[in-house]
Amino acid sequence: MKPRILALGDGALTLEFGNRIDQALNAKVMAARDALAALKLEGISDVVPTYRSLTVHFDPLLLDREALTAHLLETAQAPPGKSALATRWNIPVVFGGEFGPDLAKVARITGRSESDVIEALCATELRVFLIGFLPGFPYLGELPEWLRLPRLATPRSTVPANSLAIAGAQAAVYPWASPGGWHLLGRTPVRLFDLTDAARPALLAPGDTLRFAPVSADEFERLAAGVAAGKIGRKDWQEA
């Protein structure tokens, strides 16, 4: 599919690349985002990358629609590569038990051991496709084929904040307590959304990559206490 421009009212345009969830397609979206950022156009108020498209909100009094359209079609040709805007993260997770009540069931359904499930998930470098559903909620992909399960038939009314979950080809971490229908495997002490960071309240951003690292329950409690006390910050989760 050739990239195309879709109008969203008077103040937004969407650059659409395709109609599927795919890492290669998402890489094109991120390359266009980076190319657009490099242009430093006056009048752009927000840029929203998704699985397969890039939506740009702009002030039509400051930026001409036709000019922006031409710029977007130009950025669509940017070759995917390592993004200067992306960060690599290492996110600790305590798995199973009260922290991940669906781990045993996932292991049983897939015919693997709980250790196999944890090892496979932690060995996979996951890409942040987009942020959505809740502030700071990352849609991560893609999981190994054998670990792809449908959502729960009956969603939970409440999922604890910071729960790591999987469904389909994706993983996610719930930044807030909320309803949810994904399989809960563990919990992280990492704060995924923080309003005290006005420049970037959401820890993760589209195009970032991450790996999960298993920790014990005692280590989880130590890290959570450090986060709560302000002794452990965002930079502690970044890969060198």
* pLDDT (0 to 100) of residue 46: 95
* pLDDT (0 to 100) of residue 239: 87
* pLDDT (0 to 100) of residue 196: 85
Q: What is the mean pLDDT of residues 185-195?
A: 96
Residue found by looking up tokens 């305590």 in the block: 94
d(CA 20, CA 154): 26
Q: If pLDDT is split at 50, 70 and 90, which confidence band does 117 have?
A: very high
* More confident: 115 or 80: 115
| Helix ranges restricted to H, 97-167 | 103-110, 114-123
pLDDT tens digits, 6-57: 999 999 999 999 998 888 999 999 999 999 999 999 999 999 999 999 999 9
pLDDT of 240 > 90? The answer is: no
Retrieve residue 86's tokens.
């992306």
The percentage of residues in the chain with a pLDDT greater than 70, rounded to a whole number, is 100
Cis before 142 (ω within 30): yes
* pLDDT (0 to 100) of residue 121: 98
Q: If pLDDT is split at 50, 70 and 90, which confidence band does 199 have?
A: confident
pLDDT tens digits, 163-177: 999 999 999 999 999
